[in-house]
């Protein structure tokens, strides 16, 4: 798993360049946001079950056909799989937040996920909406904890949603 620092250095090394002003500014921004990233990861760690439960309730209120007979979250097994996947996305988002880099999502979550969901008949749009709800919840929690700039929280969640949304189901 790479982080913002190793990715930046790797890119400069591949091109055989010294770190320039842009690289230094990017490193400074990453380190300046470090405490906020740690706080966000701690919020996820302390509240993961609540975030997933509340996000799923909101998702099923918005798209109730998912839990009706024939819906993709109908039956205990499917409902549990939905919650498991939401927890999985939240956990990996926390890793990406700390790293300041979304490569972990590509390596551990996104490779083949869309194809797997398509082959299993799992609808993508509700998955994307569930991820979006969790992002909104985390941003609100961070703001309530006094984190002024929560833009860094968008990156991993938006990355997952972008990758999942590229194929229409």
CA-based torsion, 152, 156, 158, 163: positive or negative:
positive
Q: What is the pLDDT of residue 115?
A: 87
CB atoms within 10 A of CB 147: 19
Determine the Cα–Cα distance for residues 101 and 90; give it in Å rounded to an integer. Answer: 15
Name all domains of the chain by residue range, CATH numbers in brackets: 1-32 (no CATH), 34-165 (1.10.490.20)
Q: Which residues of the chain have pLDDT under 70?
A: 167-169
Q: What is the pLDDT of residue 168?
A: 46
Quote the crossing angle between the two packed helices 4-15 and 21-32, to the nearest 10°.
170
Q: What is the pLDDT of residue 121?
A: 87
First and final C-alpha spacing in the chain: 30
Residue 46, classified by CB atoms within 10 Å of its CB into exposed (0-12), middle (13-18) or buried (19+), is exposed
């Amino acid at each position: 798993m790479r982080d913002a620092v190793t990715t930046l250095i790797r890119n400069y090394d591949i091109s055989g360049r010294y770190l320039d002003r842009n690289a230094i500014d990017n490193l400074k921004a990453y380190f300046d946001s470090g405490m906020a990233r740690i706080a966000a990861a701690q919020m996820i760690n302390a509240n993961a079950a609540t975030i997933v439960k509340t996000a799923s309730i909101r998702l099923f209120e918005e798209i109730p056909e998912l839990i009706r007979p024939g819906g993709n979250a109908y039956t205990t097994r499917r409902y549990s799989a939905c919650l498991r996947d939401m927890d999985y996305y939240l956990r990996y988002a926390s890793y990406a937040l700390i790293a300041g880099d979304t490569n972990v999502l590509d390596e551990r979550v996104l490779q083949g996920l869309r194809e797997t969901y398509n082959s299993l008949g799992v609808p993508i749009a509700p998955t994307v909406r569930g991820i979006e709800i969790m992002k909104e919840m985390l941003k609100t929690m961070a703001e309530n904890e006094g984190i002024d700039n929560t833009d860094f929280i968008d990156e991993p969640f938006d990355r997952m949603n972008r990758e999942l949304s590229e194929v229409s189901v």
